[in-house]
Amino acid sequence: MDLAQLVMVIELVRATPEQTEEVRLLAVLLWQTQGQETELAVLYLRGLLPQGRIGVGWTVLQKAIAEGPAIGELWGRKGAPR
């Protein structure tokens, strides 16, 4: 499982009105993982980071959001970082 797949499933879950379908989507995702991948997927789905705090404060995030279009243009030329 890669991060792009996780993001895609999250988007599908958000767009799904049926709770049983949400559970099915998450179950399929988790069945495709094993070991530490499963643990990481669950942490990300819960909105947690395995390493805890990453040292990025709100001010840095605000600046990144403000520069978002410029970063998007850069990614469009070079591809999203991995």
pLDDT in tens, 8-21: 999 999 999 999 99
For 56-68, letters b (16+ CB in 10 Å) and e give eeeeeeeeeeeee
Kindly report the pTM of this predicted structure: 0.62
pLDDT in tens, 31-74: 999 999 999 999 999 988 888 777 788 888 788 778 766 655 65
Q: Is the dihedral of CA 10, 19, 50, 32 positive or negative?
A: negative
List the domain boundaries for the chain: 3-78
